[in-house]
């Protein structure tokens, strides 16, 4: 049975990203809870302007509990859905077990409903926290197979560095103009998450294909095995064109989103991770075909 929320000694605040001290308190909460540093977001174009954080602060300004919502329109089964994402959900150990997370979850979902979002999505390794709120898990599939032959290009790709101001401007322009990388499941925008995710995975490389005006996010585990994480472009180039632009001819490829725009199919493989992608919507949602959200959209 659910007990009442014990928020004694705490003050509730929402929409606090404009307050430097409160932002620092969130950075600290996420560093202590998940070991991640989201502060570089401020240098990489800023936080997502649609973000709406819900948090309980103590009298010293420490953030005890938080959950943030943000607009995250997605394409799902070929349809654009005006979805919200939930992220940065955490409660500091001394304040756990008092109903604070249940409280911020209810507040965030109520806000999402009042904003008129059609669906709410999140990632979690604790699905039991969210099933009582109507969330269901969707299976995620990567696609793997033999790499197609490259179509050679004249203009070579160049590496992009988000810390170079010119490259950052180009990246942000491409992110603003991007088409969903897949019709099956993909974000429509989500620039802030793409940019911060470039910092979380040290192996990820960003390349600019000038002819296609496309950013390719990729990794190479060894010389023969190519991992394609995302493509940011208003028209998604095919895989042979991507390999041609990058000047690569790997033997095998793994694509971390549904490859319906890549002119290549591959075999779907269920992602065996403890992290689940969950969705809450008025009408039941299922994936019509195997898909996954690009890790560059992780939130």
Ligand X SMILES: CC(C)(COP(=O)(O)OP(=O)(O)OC[C@H]1O[C@@H](n2cnc3c(N)ncnc32)[C@H](O)[C@@H]1OP(=O)(O)O)[C@@H](O)C(=O)NCCC(=O)NCCS
Query: Residue 29: which H helix or E strand, with range?
Result: helix 20-34
Among 90, 142, 233, 241, binds ligand X (CB under 6 A): 90
Distance between CA 140 and CA 289 in Å, rounded?
A: 10
129 binding ligand X? (CB under 6 A): yes
Contact 263, 240 (CB under 8 A): yes
Burial of residue 222 (CB within 10 Å: 0-12, 13-18, 19+) is exposed
Among 100, 109, 120, 215, binds ligand X (CB under 6 A): 100
CA distance readout (Å), 270 to 30, 143, 159, 210: 29, 9, 31, 34
Judged by beta carbon, residue 44 or residue 52, the one nearer ligand X is: 52
Judged by beta carbon, residue 129 or residue 144, the one nearer ligand X is: 129
3-state secondary structure of 38: coil
Shortest separation between residue 103's beta carbon and ligand X, angstroms: 6
Interaction with ligand X in 19-48: which residues (CB under 6 A)? 33
Judged by beta carbon, residue 43 or residue 131, the one nearer ligand X is: 131
138 binding ligand X? (CB under 6 A): no
124 binding ligand X? (CB under 6 A): yes
Token couple for 259: 């490859």
Judged by beta carbon, residue 157 or residue 297, the one nearer ligand X is: 297
Token couple for 63: 């953030």
Judged by beta carbon, residue 208 or residue 277, the one nearer ligand X is: 277
102 binding ligand X? (CB under 6 A): yes
Distance between CA 157 and CA 215 in Å, rounded?
A: 9
Among 51, 54, 98, 194, binds ligand X (CB under 6 A): 98
Summarize as ranges the residues that interact with ligand X (CB under 6 A). 2, 33, 65, 89-91, 96-102, 124, 126, 128-129
């Amino acid at each position: 049975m659910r007990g009442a929320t014990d928020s004694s000694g705490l003050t509730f605040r929402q929409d606090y990203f404009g307050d430097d001290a409160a932002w620092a308190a969130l950075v600290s909460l996420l560093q202590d809870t998940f070991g991640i540093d989201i502060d570089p977001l401020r240098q990489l174009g800023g936080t997502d302007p649609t973000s709406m954080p819900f948090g309980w602060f103590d009298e010293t300004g420490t953030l005890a509990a938080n959950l943030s919502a943000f607009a995250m329109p997605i394409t799902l089964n070929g349809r654009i859905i005006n979805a919200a994402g939930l992220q940065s959900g955490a409660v500091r150990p001394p304040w756990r077990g008092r109903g604070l997370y249940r409280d911020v979850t209810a507040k965030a979902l109520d806000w999402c409903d009042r904003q008129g979002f059609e669906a709410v999505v999140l990632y979690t390794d604790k699905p039991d926290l969210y099933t009582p709120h109507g969330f269901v898990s969707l299976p995620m599939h990567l696609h793997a197979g033999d790499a197609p032959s490259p179509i050679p290009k004249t203009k070579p790709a160049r590496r992009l560095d988000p810390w170079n101001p010119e490259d950052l401007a180009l990246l942000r322009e491409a992110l603003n103009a991007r088409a969903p990388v897949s019709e099956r499941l993909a974000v429509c925008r989500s620039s802030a998450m793409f940019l911060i995710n470039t910092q979380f995975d040290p192996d990820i490389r960003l390349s600019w294909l000038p002819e296609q005006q496309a950013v390719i996010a990729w990794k190479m585990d060894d010389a023969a095995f190519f991992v394609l994480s995302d493509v940011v472009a208003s028209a998604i180039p095919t895989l042979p064109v991507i390999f041609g632009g990058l000047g690569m001819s790997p033997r095998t490829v793994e694509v971390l989103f549904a490859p319906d725009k890549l002119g290549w199919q591959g075999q779907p493989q269920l992602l065996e991770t403890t992290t689940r992608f969950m969705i809450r919507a008025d009408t039941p949602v299922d994936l019509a075909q195997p898909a996954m959200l690009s890790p560059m959209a992780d939130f």
